[in-house]
Structure formats: structure tokens, C-alpha cells
């Protein structure tokens, strides 16, 4: 469980130095009109930046996902300029703020250099403390390549199917009003607007009374979700923290050529029903952790596979039910779904239980040699284009299978899996199935 409370510390004590003076001491200057301002770098492909405020450099070398605490500045209409680190041009952002006395303002640099626009998202906040026993939360959408989303703040075990979004149909750059929420354990989930398709899941988060938070969905490329949650606090020691997506991705495929349709159970809860050969589930989002997976004959309690597995946050896995029914077993693989912009990536799996070792040819060029049953290759990078794959009996020119022409696209990731049986009377003969990993 991630505890935001543990990131926050008590405010440091402040010592005050008092000076004595005589009758000739000058009168103290009038108190300045002050405001509070913080700055956040949320443009994923922008380099480190310097930030100028009212003509003077205020911050240097601010990196993506960096956030300042609230700075005390003069109220008024200062100009904010953002430039690449160590340079005065180009001025990536140039904006005039309107800072009222005692106001709290957050300036977020959002957008994409590749998209041609990095711009300020200005969030005006209240200085009013949360209600007793509650925390304040504002949620915003700061990921330019993600469409409108719904944001849910629920109890950790709440069923999303019956939940109502705390923020509905939030478009890029939208920020909600402050939500007053009772302190406790929560789960934050982001879905595509109007759907229950989860794009981000925080897992269980502990939120303490008295906190005043702004949670921004920002671009992320390190896990399975396109976004991560950047949480801004009012604690000067820990002004921000990141809550990465807490899920793993799991795909299940029925690859046993003589087995009947099956049910798939995750921790004894039926997740997939009546799955025939050679269907696959596509990727399912599960919170990272330890799981028991069972494969039962459809609509029965007869278990043919019973396996325990650990799913790690940010990773993807495939479980293939392989072998003939008498010896059916799980083949569990970790999937590398990293894309390459100008190439396709593909791996090959030998999952035909009675086929011999094979050589794999792509457009008549040998790419893999002597591949045995249950073996999986690494992901190969290949130019985009059309490919005909052949499976030859290892070390010979005898072709056991020739695929139709298959189009592989740049920036995509694939798994080609040899399935079926080589038996002459097999109802599911040897074939090649192409799965799109990403």
C-alpha cells in the first residue's frame, strides 16, 4: 500500500531573531502584498528548463515531473518566462500572471515539444483549509496525447462497474474543483471517458486529514499505463510525489489443440468463461501481486492447470495453456512490449506439442534454428512490411507450415505462435497465430 501520509512531515519550526532599537530607529516598512506561487514541469519530451519571474531567474534546471513548493512572491502581475536550461531563448512559455494578495497559484508547463506546443496551465487555488477530518483533492488532466477521461476516487475494493466518477469527461488541461473527502484509504482510477476501461490504477492509497492536494495525470512511458499520477502537496519538504500505475497486464491463451473449452479463474474468481482453442483474452489489468491461476474444463470444477505466479507492477505477462490434454501445462512468459518507432518487433513461440524442433524462416531467410516445443525467442526487430513465415523440420528443407502473407507495422510488437497438432487426423492442424502485443 502506498501511503501519502508517510511522505508528509510536520512543518519545521521557525526561529525569529528580534532586534532592539532606540527612539531614532526608522519606522518598519509597510508589509508587502504577498502571494504564493509554485511551478511544475509536466511536458514529457521537454528538456530541463530555467524559469524567470518578473525579469529575474527564479529557478534553474527544472526537470520533467519536478515541482517546487509554494514560493512567496509579490502580488501583482509578474511575467513568467520558461527557457531551456542555460539559455535565454527560445522562450518556451511567456505568460503574465495575475496574483492577488494571499492567493495560491500553480503554473504547470504542459504539452509536447514534438507536438509544437508547450504552454502554461494555470491553477488558482484556495487558501482555505480542508474541513475537519477531511482532505482536499483537485484532479487534473495534463497528458496531451490522452483523450478525455473519467477519474474515480473510491474505496480500494469498490467495483468500478457501479461507481460514479468523481470527475467526469475531463478533457486535456481540465482541472476539477476541490473535492472535500473524508480521510481514509482510497483507490484512484482513470478510465477513458464514458467507459469502464481502466487506463490508470493507483492501487490502495492512504490519504490523511488536513492535506490539500492537486493530482495531475501526466504522460508516462515506463509501465503499462500512458499516464502516471503526479501529486502536488503543500508540504515544503515534499512538495510532490509520484504514484505510478500499480497494475500488471496478463494475457491468457488456450493453446492445447485437443482440449475442450475452458474457464480461467484468478484467485478462484472466474475471469474468463468457455474459452475455446485457440482464443486469447487480450491483456487484462490486475493489481501487481501474487495470484493463483486455474484453468478448468468449461462449466466444471475439474482443474487441469493450477499455478501460482507473481505479477510485477508495470510488466506484462502471457500464460499459454500448452500440450495435449493428457499433459496440459502452463507456459508463463514475460512480454517485452517496448516499441521501436521505425521497426516492428516480433517473437516466435513453438507451442505445437507433437511437432519436432523447427527452423523459422521469414521470406525464405532463416531467422531461428532448432526451436523446440515450449521455446520462445527473444523479440526480433525487423523492417515493416509483408512476411511469409515457414516452419521447417530443424536442419532440413522439409517445410511443415507456410503462413499466409502477414503485414508487420513499424511501432508495433507481435508474438507469432505455432499451435495445433501435426497428427494426420487432427481437428486443429498445425497453424501460425499472430498476436498483437502492442
The full DSSP string for 258-312 is T---EEEEETTEEEEEEEPTT-B---EEEESEEEEEEEEETTS--EEEEEEEEE-
pLDDT for 28 equals 53
Which CATH class for the 128-244 domain?
mainly beta
Q: State pLDDT tens for residues 129-176.
A: 999 999 999 999 999 999 999 999 999 999 999 999 999 999 999 999
Alpha-carbon span 151 to 141, nearest angstrom: 9
Domain 338-438 carries which CATH code? Answer: 2.60.40.1120
Task: Give how far Cα 164 sits from Cα of 175, 196, 215, 229, 260, Å.
Answer: 18, 10, 18, 20, 39
285 contacts 316 by C-beta, under 8 angstroms: no
At the second CATH level, the architecture of 246-335 is: Sandwich (2.60)
| Interacting residues of 101 by C-beta distance below 8 A, sequence separation 6+ | 33, 34, 35, 75
Alpha-carbon span 31 to 398, nearest angstrom: 90
pLDDT for 119 equals 94
Checking 180-185 for CB contacts under 8 A at 24+ apart, the result is 180/130, 180/131, 180/134, 180/135, 180/136, 181/134, 181/135, 181/136, 181/137, 181/153, 181/207, 182/133, 182/134, 183/133, 183/134, 183/135, 183/207, 183/208, 183/209, 185/1, 185/155, 185/156
| Kind and range of the H or E run holding 251 | strand 247-254
Domain 338-438 in the same topology as domain 33-127: yes
Cis, peptide link before residue 256, omega less than 30° from 0: no
Per-domain residue ranges for the chain?
33-127, 128-244, 246-335, 338-438
Domain 33-127 carries which CATH code? Answer: 2.60.40.1120
pLDDT for 5 equals 39
User: If you search the block for the grid coordinates 487558501, which residue do you land on?
Assistant: 127
Q: State pLDDT tens for residues 52-94.
A: 998 899 999 999 999 999 999 999 999 999 999 999 988 999 9
Mean pLDDT by groups of 10 residues along the chain of 438 residues = 41 29 46 88 94 92 94 93 92 93 95 88 93 96 96 95 95 96 96 94 95 96 90 94 95 97 96 96 94 96 95 96 96 95 96 97 97 97 97 96 97 97 94 96
Amino acid at each position: 500500500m502506498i501511503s501519502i501520509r508517510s511522505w508528509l512531515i510536520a512543518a519545521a519550526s521557525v526561529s525569529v531573531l528580534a532586534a532592539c532599537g532606540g527612539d531614532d530607529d526608522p519606522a518598519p516598512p509597510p508589509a508587502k502584498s504577498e502571494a504564493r506561487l509554485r511551478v511544475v514541469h509536466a511536458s514529457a519530451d521537454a528538456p530541463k528548463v530555467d524559469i524567470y519571474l518578473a525579469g529575474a531567474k527564479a529557478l534553474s534546471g527544472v526537470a520533467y515531473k519536478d515541482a517546487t513548493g509554494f514560493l512567496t512572491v509579490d502580488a501583482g502581475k509578474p511575467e513568467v518566462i520558461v527557457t531551456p536550461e542555460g539559455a535565454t531563448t527560445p522562450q518556451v512559455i511567456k505568460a503574465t500572471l495575475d496574483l492577488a494578495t494571499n492567493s495560491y497559484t500553480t503554473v504547470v508547463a504542459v504539452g509536447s515539444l514534438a507536438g509544437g506546443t508547450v504552454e502554461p496551465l494555470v491553477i488558482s487555488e484556495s487558501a482555505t483549509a480542508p474541513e475537519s477530518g477531511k482532505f482536499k483533492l483537485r484532479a487534473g488532466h495534463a497528458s496531451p496525447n490522452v483523450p478525455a477521461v473519467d477519474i474515480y476516487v473510491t474505496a480500494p475494493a469498490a467495483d468500478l462497474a457501479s461507481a460514479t466518477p468523481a470527475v467526469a469527461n475531463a478533457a486535456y488541461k481540465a482541472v476539477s474543483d476541490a473535492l472535500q473527502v473524508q480521510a481514509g484509504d482510497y483507490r484512484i482510477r482513470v478510465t477513458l471517458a464514458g467507459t469502464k476501461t481502466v487506463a490508470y490504477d493507483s492501487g490502495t492509497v492512504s490519504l490523511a486529514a488536513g492535506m490539500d492536494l492537486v493530482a495531475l495525470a501526466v504522460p508516462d512511458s515506463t509501465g503499462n499505463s500512458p499516464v502516471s499520477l503526479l501529486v502536488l502537496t503543500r508540504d515544503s519538504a515534499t512538495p510532490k510525489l509520484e504514484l505510478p500505475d500499480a497494475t500488471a497486464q496478463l494475457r491468457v491463451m488456450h493453446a492445447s489443440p485437443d482440449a475442450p473449452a475452458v474457464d480461467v479463474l484468478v484467485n478462484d474468481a472466474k475471469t474468463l468463461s468457455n474459452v475455446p482453442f485457440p482464443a486469447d483474452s487480450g491483456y487484462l489489468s490486475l493489481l501487481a501481486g501474487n495470484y493463483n491461476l486455474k484453468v478448468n474444463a468449461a462449466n466444471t470444477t475439474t482443474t487441469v492447470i493450477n499455478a501460482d505466479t507473481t505479477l510485477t507492477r508495470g510488466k506484462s505477462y502471457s500464460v499459454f495453456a500448452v500440450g495435449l490434454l493428457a499433459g496440459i501445462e502452463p507456459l508463463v512468459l514475460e512480454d517485452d512490449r517496448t516499441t521501436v518507432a521505425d521497426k516492428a518487433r516480433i517473437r516466435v513461440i513453438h507451442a505445437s506439442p507433437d511437432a519436432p524442433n523447427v527452423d523459422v524462416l521469414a521470406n525464405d531467410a532463416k531467422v531461428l534454428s532448432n526451436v523446440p516445443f515450449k521455446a520462445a525467442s527473444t523479440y526480433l526487430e525487423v523492417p515493416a512490411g509483408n512476411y511469409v513465415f515457414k516452419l521447417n523440420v530443424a536442419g532440413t528443407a522439409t517445410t511443415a507450415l507456410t503462413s499466409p502473407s502477414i503485414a508487420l507495422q513499424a511501432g508495433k510488437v507481435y508474438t507469432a505462435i505455432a499451435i495445433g497438432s501435426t497428427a494426420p487426423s487432427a481437428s486443429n492442424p498445425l497453424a501460425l497465430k499472430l498476436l498483437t502485443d502492442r
